[in-house]
Structure 1
Amino acid sequence: MAARPLIVFDVNETLLDLETMEPIFERIFGEKSAMRLWFSNLIMYSAALTVAGCYVPFTDIGSAVMKMLADTRGIKIGEQDRKELTERFSTMPPHHEVPGALRKLRDAGFRLFTLTDNLLEVQTRQLEHGGIVDLFERRFSADGVKHHKPSRQAYGYVERELAVEPSRLCLIACHTWDTLGAVAAGWQAALIKRVGNDVLGVGPQPQIVGNDLNDVADQLIALHRGRA
């Protein structure tokens, strides 16, 4: 019988509530929907820079994207704005169901890890602030390999560090681009349908889809019940 997979979590929006970033964008841009435009551009340009062979830390890209969006609207971004962006991004709270669902998975015998594009120090602060850092056996950052997700190198970094085959790993994320990269790398994957996120009908598909982390956790536990 196959062993339980090692569970690797995306962090931003998957575990932490990205919508708590909206007030800073509403203040600067006059509309909270600017946060979604910023985040989608952050992901796009982190992937574009990676494909172009030019690594830039995730937080630096986030700051540059915010300025770029402001420049297109004739808005001036000050140092205080950049500091507030960094502070809010580093202190996003977990989604309400996340702490209990993580404990449920751990109590069921799953080993839990993270893999995020954030710098390790940013990720650590996020998880410490959210009170969930101790639930993870180890935390990984794409900075360790200088390739943002969904590049093959980012997932391969975790495989090498944990000394396991790709098939032993399962990514949980709320972004289809992330699960697409994981499944293409030979991992299992579960997609959480957070607000604005859903299944893409082309490309490698996640094996599990759920409405929140509790839903995904229950499906994983049922699927692997009785496995070592």
Structure 2
Amino acid sequence: MELNVERTYALGFDVYGTLVDPLALAEPLQALVGEQAVRFAELWRTKQLEYSFRRGLMQRYVDFDACTRQALLYTQQALRCDLPESDQGRLLETYLYLPTFPEVTAALTALKAQDHRLMAFTNGVEVSIRALLSNAGVLPYLEDVVSVDDLRTFKPDPAVYAYLARRAGHAPGDTWLVSSNAWDVIGAKAAGLRAAWVRRQPEAVFDPWDVEPDVVVSRLDELADWFAGQPT
């Protein structure tokens, strides 16, 4: 009798924008900056990423927590919001309590039931990400937290994707990045990994770099269905 054995993979989940929503900071920002809350949250996130990219290229590393603090300082200056240090501290603390997207727990449960190895893979500092994911209730679903801080560089440096595969104990071709960030997906594909793009916003455009994700989903729970439908 022939056994139907499903193929399993290592899945590295980006954290910010994929598992948790950094733009949810607009809610606590409302009390501090009023109508600028959404713009503040978006600019803060944009600068946070920009600073990590620039530091990676310059080889002038500081960790992601530092990039987040510096991006906060930039944003309040750019939007002319002079926040007291106490409010800045509370906002940075809120970064440890970002909410997950609604389907995340069910999606991780389904993927774990398929025997895939699930890990967080992040630009964030490991201790901060563990606290964030624990507060969000999803850390128990993940076998490991793989942080680029170990290499003192940032995504999309090819070295960090190779590091994910090594930590997972899988060949790059059997290691998946799962991310809502198109630049992250392209970085993983360039390093020989497979990648799923979580296109959370229907208007989002994938960069036209002649690189395509292996699969596109609009929600994480669609990914388990996609894997279940693949030939073994």
Fold shared by both chains (TM-score > 0.5): yes
Q: Describe the SS at the equivalent of 1:67.
A: helix
Aligned with residue 160 of structure 1, among 166, 169, 179: 166
Any gaps of 5 or more consecutive residues in structure 1?
none
Q: Kindly indicate whether the alpha-carbon contact (under 8 Å) linking 1:176 and 1:197 is maintained by their aligned counterparts in 2.
A: no
Measured after TM superposition, the shift of residue 69 of structure 1 is 2.1
Measured after TM superposition, the shift of residue 4 of structure 1 is 2.4
Q: Which moved more, 1:156-165 or 1:170-179?
A: 156-165
Question: What CA deviation, in whole Å up to 9, does each residue of 1:82-131 have, x standing for no partner?
Answer: 22222211111211111011100111121111111111111101111111
**Residue 140 of structure 2 aligns to which amino acid in structure 1?**
D
Structure 1: how far apart are the matches of 2:204 and 2:93? 25
Question: What CA deviation, in whole Å up to 9, does each residue of 1:193-219 have, x standing for no partner?
Answer: 123644223242211001100112211
Q: Kindly indicate whether the alpha-carbon contact (under 8 Å) linking 1:26 and 1:34 is maintained by their aligned counterparts in 2.
A: no
Q: Kindly indicate whether the alpha-carbon contact (under 8 Å) linking 2:23 and 2:45 is maintained by their aligned counterparts in 1.
A: no
Q: 1:72 to 1:33 in 2, by over 3 A?
A: closer
**Residue 175 of structure 2 aligns to which amino acid in structure 1?**
L
Measured after TM superposition, the shift of residue 46 of structure 1 is 0.4
Q: Kindly indicate whether the alpha-carbon contact (under 8 Å) linking 1:67 and 1:77 is maintained by their aligned counterparts in 2.
A: no
Structure 2: how far apart are the matches of 1:145 and 1:102? 27
Whether 1:206 and 2:210 are equivalent positions in the alignment is: no
Summarize the alignment of residues 104-143 of structure 1 with structure 2, pairs less than 5 Å apart. Answer: 104-143=110-149
Q: Kindly indicate whether the alpha-carbon contact (under 8 Å) linking 1:192 and 1:213 is maintained by their aligned counterparts in 2.
A: yes
Structure 1: how far apart are the matches of 2:92 and 2:190? 32
Structure 1: how far apart are the matches of 2:59 and 2:210? 23
Q: Describe the SS at the equivalent of 2:19.
A: coil
Structure 2: how far apart are the matches of 1:204 and 1:41? 25
Whether 1:67 and 2:97 are equivalent positions in the alignment is: no
**Deviating runs (4+, > 3 A) in structure 1?**
24-30, 195-198
Structure 2: how far apart are the matches of 1:26 and 1:156? 40
Summarize the alignment of residues 33-44 of structure 1 with structure 2, pairs less than 5 Å apart. Answer: 33-44=39-50
Structure 2: how far apart are the matches of 1:14 and 1:89? 15
Q: 1:202 to 1:29 in 2, by over 3 A?
A: farther
**In structure 2, what is the equivalent of residue 13 of structure 1?**
17
**In structure 1, what is the equivalent of residue 93 of structure 2?**
87
Equivalent residue pairs, number: 225
Give me the TM-score of the superposition, normalised by structure 1: 0.91
RMSD: 1.9
Q: Describe the SS at the equivalent of 1:139.
A: strand
Q: 1:203 to 1:21 in 2, by over 3 A?
A: farther
Give me the TM-score of the superposition, normalised by structure 2: 0.90
**Residue 221 of structure 2 aligns to which amino acid in structure 1?**
N
Q: Kindly indicate whether the alpha-carbon contact (under 8 Å) linking 1:16 and 1:95 is maintained by their aligned counterparts in 2.
A: yes
Q: Describe the SS at the equivalent of 1:218.
A: helix
**Residue 53 of structure 1 aligns to which amino acid in structure 2?**
Q
Q: Kindly indicate whether the alpha-carbon contact (under 8 Å) linking 1:24 and 1:84 is maintained by their aligned counterparts in 2.
A: no
Summarize the alignment of residues 170-181 of structure 1 with structure 2, pairs less than 5 Å apart. Answer: 170-181=176-187
Structure 2: how far apart are the matches of 1:4 and 1:126? 27
